[in-house]
Amino acid sequence: MADVQTIENVACGFCGLGCDDLTVEVEGRQVRAKAPVCPEAARLLRRLDTADPVARVAGETASETEAADAARQILASARAPLIGGLGVDMAGAGAAVDLAIRFGGVLDHYASEGLFRNYAAAQRTGWLSTTLAEVRNRCDLLLVVGDDPSATWGRLFERFFPATPLFAGANRRVVFLGAAPGEKARGQLAGAQVVHHATEDPVAALEALGTLVAGRRPPGESFGGVGAEALAALAEELRNAHYAVVTWNAADLADGDLVATRATALVDRLNVTTRAGVFPLGGRDNIIGVNQLLLWRLGYPLRSAVRGQASSHDGTLFATEAALADADVLVWISAFRPEPPPAFAGKVIALAHPETVFDKEPDVLIPVGTPGVDHAGTVFRMDSIVSLPLGALRVATLPSVAEAVRRIAEG
Amino acid sequence: MRLRLKGGRVLDPANGENGVASGAVRDIEIEDGRIVAATDLKADAEYDLGGAVVMAGGIDLHSHIAGGKMNLARLLMQEDRRAFPEMPGNFCGCGGGRAVPTAHATGCRYAELGYTTVFEPAMVGANARGAHLEMADIPNLDTGAYLVLGNDDYFQRLLAAGAGQEQVNAYVGWMIEATQAFAIKIVNPGGINAFKFNARKMDLDEANPHYGVTPRKVLTTLIQAVTELGIPHPIHLHGCNLGVPGNDDTTLATMLATEGRRLHLTHLQFHSYGTEGDRRFSSSAARIAEMVNANSNISVDVGQVMFGQTITASADYMSQYRNRGLASPKKSIGMDIELDAACGVVPFEYKDKSFVNALQWAIGLELFLLVEDPWRIFLTTDHPNGGPFTTYPHLIRLLMDRDFRNAQLATLNKAAQAHTLLGQITREYTLEEIAILTRAAPARILGLTDKGHLGPGAVADIAVHTEDADREAMFSTTRMVFKNGRLIVKDGVVVELAQGTTHVARPEFDRSVEKDMQRWFDEAVGLKARHFRISDGELRGGAGPTILKCEGGAS
């Protein structure tokens, strides 16, 4: 029997919140997280002492070299590859860009919908934003738009609202504009005053709020189902707050782009007289880091294509779903979780988490290790500023994405 | 590997050699990436320079080339990327942009101009890991970064609590090591922090609304810290009141606040504004230059404004927020960052017909021409804030060619022409002075003893220019550029990509500060100090940094 090894202060790269205080037990090949940990991290860190799956080509067991050779052959004759998924650490992201430069291809991350909804606002007007440590210590009024985000980011409010902030004082308030906060959120916010304004149209409510904050009264009795008086009172609180923060998860909101636009405008108006910032939620599977790397390497964010030694960007055409319609090869990369590729008629090369369940056998399957479990790596937090070093928890038996891609590209 | 560069006119002010003036030609010999004394040994390769001008590779001590704010700028200004697509060349599909070029384009364009070392002057600690990853993807350049300090709540708290200098030094040392920084930058001392408490301006002796700490205290404490830690580069200061008419008095007071200790004032042009004239905006370059000339402890870089579209990116969110109404196109980004600093990104178009922009241009040139000692003034546009670094050849001609300069001046806003002394200044920079500004002096002030010169032992970073009376043409292209003795540019075209290194300074400090840092990160920041800290192996794809060990100075 292997000894049980307890590793403290483990950094977690899955949801983008960037918790780095996890305690993990490792016993031989087995990994299990102990508190403090959210359910998603517990699930994604869990490893049993099972044999790794091996590479396959057309469903037949293959060596890693054979799989890399097969992938290279497919890519060499590809007309329009899509390099998708992109659940990778920074080294994996660099390798994916190298692959696009070598063979051409569109680059997108599977969770980019929310990011681009936010960019609809950001690229038109810009925005005034803030980061986690500022929220923790300065935010005295937090406006949460849409659904309770605790389902996706299990420790969000625990991280947002520590017991003893440096500046925010004892009277911290959280206003939910949308769905009601769940039990978990209420528990984590026990030290704050929690208010809920139910609405199914947060865009209308935010728009009215923006008008009110600017000192004008919008015509109407209620906005998105929230009474004008309640919104007027909230506007007054926002104006009186020292540091208000507006947060939302654009991926979960049908009108995420409009929520982002209205929230941005609201915060813009608040900053004329007091301080405030937006804190857009997102960041799953290092999407922010991959996006950062594309920006410095290609000059464009995700949903960009490299073709003929030039790159271009189109937030609509190069989104995974649209790009798949034009693609003949899909390189699907998902190292953090067993995210299966979307349905696709063309050839599929999968660099996949070992537990991935495929609807259709990929043409080439190369199982890859998980950053922060099998190998070290770097991931960005959702605020796009802070990045974390992930350590290895056990000896790797599978290649990292960077190694697997290198083997494909270098042959 | 031995190389011989034959028959060049060597311009090497650090070693007192001026082949341009004397007309003498000689060979330069390189062995394994370093310059060596001439030998009779057979070389593996020889390059005939045909009397061309040979200088050490250029060193830019202040150019924003990496970090989160540059990515925000790229995101906000996709127009810039689209307008400047990839240059022809067989390297990749990843080079474009002018005001905010990609990492690849940054490395290639700088190399084409003969630059081989560039320092990012505003790395925020919270973003340091990302900045280092980005710098590692810049080809052809050695890099390094100055850590933004002084607005962080940890430091402000220390000062408010009356901490002793030794405690401050331990903190500064810890931060430099943890973030793999080369020097300390202060941006709007205390002002960025004050803005988080809703202060909108901050003068040298104004108290922070929360901590009560003044910018003067921030400045003098950090000057003392880098002195006692032995960091070679002095405090690199972006002063109070950037861009505000009347900031000249603050700038002068800031120089006096040093009490004779070393200080580098960056993008001085933006801090040399008076309030004279009917438009309440005037040049104070003469006053400021006089003070610089009289105080040998002061060094400056200019941050010259160059006309055209650019984007400004700064940690000075307070000032950027104030100026965002001037954004063109009309959009901007601001961000408070991690109890640490902030950033503001504002696109800007400097127009030659604008009174203010034209006068800014003239003020920058006045500073260049009125500061007498070429060892204490550096050629910068504060890329991209005053203009992209690719405008350097044009700027060099403005400095070297009075007729050209005056012809340019004559095309500008008429009122601005009437408000500047520029037309009466006869000084023209010599080639030797340009070599000092762009090579010898930056190496000296950064403490890089094996750079910026061509003597034995120097890194073989070498730029070869064909002399041309049109200095803009001369400096727009290079005949050859060598990086660590490898030919990377030939006839103005990048022929090979070299992997650079990252310079870091490593001071000694009292490591008992570690416990307090851990507590601060746990309780306030919400991140483990050990994860904030960047290990050597994280730099340059595992190659690690080039470490400059610091000898503690007078304490």
Contact flag A277-B196 (C-beta cutoff 8 Å): no
d(CA A46, CA A27): 11
Q: Which residues 318-357 in chain A show a CB within 8 A of chain B?
A: none
Contact flag A293-B133 (C-beta cutoff 8 Å): yes
- Look at residues B349, B343, B345 and name the one whose alpha carbon lies nearest to residue B331: B345
Q: What share of chain B is helix, strand, coil (3-state, %, to 5)?
A: 40, 20, 40
Say whether both A221 and A329 belong to one domain.
Answer: no
DSSP secondary structure letters along B239-257: -SSTT-TTHHHHHHHHHHH
Picking from B71, B197, B335, the nearest residue to A296 by CB comes out as B71
Interface size A-B, in CB pairs within 8 Å, comes to: 185
A234 inside 8 A of chain B by CB: no
Reduced to 3 states (helix: H, G, I; strand: E, B; else coil), residue A174 is: strand
Chain B partners of A274 at a C-beta cutoff of 8 Å?
Answer: 198
Q: Give residue-wise pLDDT tens across range B380-434.
A: 999 999 999 999 999 999 999 999 999 999 999 999 999 999 999 999 999 999 9
Say whether both A255 and A269 belong to one domain.
Answer: yes
Q: What is the span of the domain harbouring residue A61?
A: 53-111+285-410
d(CA B263, CA B265): 6
Tell me the nearest-neighbour CA distance from B407 into chain A, angstroms: 36
Contact flag B331-A124 (C-beta cutoff 8 Å): yes
Chain A partners of B154 at a C-beta cutoff of 8 Å?
Answer: none
Tell me the β-bridge partners of A197: A177
Counting the structural domains of chain A, the total is 3
Picking from B97, B101, B130, the nearest residue to A292 by CB comes out as B130
What is the Cα A89 distance to its own chain's centre? 12
Say whether both A404 and A375 belong to one domain.
Answer: yes
Q: Give residue-wise pLDDT tens across range A386-410.
A: 999 999 999 999 999 999 999 998 8
Chosen from A89, A101, A293, A386 to mutate, greatest number of chain B CBs within 10 A:
A386
- Look at residues B332, B183, B158, B199 and name the one whose alpha carbon lies nearest to residue B263: B183
Say whether both A69 and A31 belong to one domain.
Answer: no
Q: Give residue-wise pLDDT tens across range A125-157.
A: 999 999 999 999 999 999 999 999 999 999 999
Say whether both A344 and A377 belong to one domain.
Answer: yes
Architecture of domain B58-446: Alpha-Beta Barrel (3.20)
* pLDDT given for residue A169 in this prediction: 85
Residue A143: which CATH number? 3.40.228.10
Residue predicted with more confidence, A123 or B315: B315
* pLDDT given for residue A124 in this prediction: 87
Say whether both A65 and A181 belong to one domain.
Answer: no
Residue of B nearest to A391 (CA): B531
Contact flag A378-B134 (C-beta cutoff 8 Å): no
- Look at residues B528, B390, B172 and name the one whose alpha carbon lies nearest to residue A10: B528
Last residue of a domain, one of A219, A252, A282: A282
Residue of A nearest to B532 (CA): A388
Say whether both A276 and A137 belong to one domain.
Answer: yes
Kindly report the three-state secondary structure assignment for every residue of A35-72: CCCCHHHHHHHCECCCCCCCCEECCEECCHHHHHHHHH
Residue of B nearest to A274 (CA): B198
* pLDDT given for residue B90 in this prediction: 56
Tell me the nearest-neighbour CA distance from A178 into chain B, angstroms: 26
Residue of B nearest to A279 (CA): B335
pLDDT band at residue B520 under the 50/70/90 scheme: very high
Last residue of a domain, one of A260, A282, A304: A282
d(CA B13, CA B202): 41
d(CA B116, CA B275): 40
Say whether both A171 and A278 belong to one domain.
Answer: yes
Tell me the nearest-neighbour CA distance from B312 into chain A, angstroms: 14
Is B130 within 8 Å of A387 (Cβ atoms)? yes
pTM: 0.98
pLDDT band at residue B93 under the 50/70/90 scheme: low
Say whether both A144 and A248 belong to one domain.
Answer: yes
Contact flag A301-B75 (C-beta cutoff 8 Å): yes
pLDDT band at residue B77 under the 50/70/90 scheme: very high
Say whether both A211 and A230 belong to one domain.
Answer: yes
B99 inside 8 A of chain A by CB: no
By percentage, how much of chain A surpasses pLDDT 70?
99
Say whether both A244 and A306 belong to one domain.
Answer: no
Q: Is the ipTM of this complex over 0.95?
A: yes
- Look at residues A223, A227, A271, A225 and name the one whose alpha carbon lies nearest to residue A245: A271
Picking from A128, A166, A243, the nearest residue to B524 by CB comes out as A166
Tell whether the model's pLDDT for residue B39 goes beyond 70.
Answer: yes
Tell whether the model's pLDDT for residue A411 goes beyond 80.
Answer: no
A6 inside 8 A of chain B by CB: no
Say whether both A134 and A64 belong to one domain.
Answer: no
B544: left (phi over 0), alpha (psi -120 to 50) or beta: left
Q: Which residues 276-305 in chain B show a CB within 8 A of chain A?
A: none
* pLDDT given for residue B554 in this prediction: 44
